[in-house]
Structure 1
């Protein structure tokens, strides 16, 4: 369900074929025009455009076990890769940041077929996202992700399985990855209610890796991929922000006589819905977290 006065139109801007439009009834996709580049999916802060039965955490787990992992797409059947996802345009900056942090060996993104693909626009997007990751988290050094555009530069080593090993591997694969991907975005599910709260998968991944990060890197992640919230004295505790928040990052704290809005940075996706929905203009969402525990609900400091 979409708040029809939300100013967010990132998916419209990023769609290369203009297959998405928004009106008072919500968001619509022209499925005949959609090419399945997944750029809308990667840029949506709330995972509002998601792929059914796709689990990126399982992809990460498989990549981590490989010595020289290659990731590619399902669009080209003979693309060399250990793991394939619907389209590499699915990889957001946050996905790439997590991959760079967790990778024990450089991950190769096989883009060798992109030049002739209708979704070749994703290459430029990946280049910009990797540059941003390097600037924010790697102190300017190259992330452990390589964009491979020429076949001569691809170093792919097939994995050999015994019969038993093959079925063990198959058993641990996600079903959609085993059978391949048919392309396009899935047909709409029944509309969600505002009471349905869900933290986007990319935020869950960040929360999961935080405990294993050195303090300096953890602070960089806090600074670039987490948020804090400020509520000024005009707030009348109408709780509209709590209800509109799609992730559960906001709730009411305190007792009946001293109620207040409390906020968890670990649940916030930075969508800004709470600020847009506030009739008093009392809320500011600001990038960066400076506390000790982003999962804890804390009182929101007053804006100055």
Structure 2
């Protein structure tokens, strides 16, 4: 009887365990976009050692525990959870007292809507720790290679009159630093401070003296 119970539990566990707890989009991975990228945030966070970089972003499905720390640590959104209803049930079986998130708690969603009502200086202080800014050195050659390298679309080429300029949207920037690493003349700096008023707008990146 004990062997039957063990076999039943093993089969049930295999049936409920997702084949691929995490899926990786190589086009968003800094290491895949630029072979000299130093980004290793996901592997540093993965306690199971389930991630590797070779020709592709490798996920060892047997080792992966589905903790989702890689999805939380990746600044460019390379990883996505691929959990269906049955896999969630499989994980809940191991948790004596599941705790639900509070994303639907009344009042939390209202905070973003209240942001525009704050005085400009207070709003700026509230935003500066949550968004990134891009500093551009005066020796920028205007090659705009950084635009094509950015995995999140935070950079684009705009125009000022007839002159092309580099534009940056803070809300799309994850702070991965790939643009900085790829820059051939090393004039880009990504900083976790937002000095502007609206992180959801593209703005001209002004050159600063190094």
TM-score (norm 2): 0.68
SS in 1 for 2:80: coil
1:34 correspondence with 2:64: yes
Counterpart selection for 1:247 from 152, 155, 158: 152
Q: How does 1:130-169 map to 2 (within 5 A)?
A: none
Mapping of 1:170-249 within 5 angstroms?
Answer: 210-213=112-115, 215=118, 218-249=123-154
Distance 1:256 1:301, change over 3 A: closer
Q: Equivalent residue for 1:273? A: 178
Structure 2, unaligned runs of 5 or more:
1-26
Max radius of gyration: which structure? 2
Once the two structures are TM-superposed, the CA of residue 13 in structure 1 deviates from its matched residue by 0.7
State whether residues 262 and 299 of structure 1, in contact with CA within 8 Å, keep that contact through their aligned partners in structure 2.
yes
Matched residues in 1 for 2:89 and 2:168: separation? 38
The match for 1:16 among 20, 28, 47 is: 47
Question: What do the CA deviations read for 1:107-152 (whole angstroms, capped 9, x no partner)?
Answer: xxxxxxxxxxxxxxxxxxxxxxxxxxxxxxxxxxxxx9xxxxxxxx
Count of aligned pairs between the two proteins: 171
Cα RMSD between the aligned structures?
Answer: 3.2
Q: Which TM-score applies when normalising by structure 1?
A: 0.49
Distance (Å, rounded) in 2 between the aligned partners of 1:218 and 1:103:
23
Equivalent residue in structure 1 for 2:201, among 296, 299, 304? 296
Please name the residue that 1:49 is paired with: 79
Query: 2-side partners of 1:47 and 1:36: how far apart?
Result: 16
Structure number with higher relative contact order (C-alpha < 8 Å, ≥ 6 residues apart) = 2
What SS does the corresponding residue of 2:163 show, helix, strand or coil? Answer: coil
Change (3 A) 1:211 1:288: farther
Question: Aligned partners of 2:113 and 2:193: how far apart in 1?
Answer: 18
State the secondary structure of the residue aligned to 1:50: strand
Tell me the distance in 2 between the aligned counterparts of 1:14 and 1:234. Answer: 36
Distance verdict in 2 for CA 1:266–1:45, change over 3 Å: same
In the alignment, the residues of structure 2 paired with residue 273 and residue 257 of structure 1 have an alpha-carbon distance, to the nearest angstrom, of 28
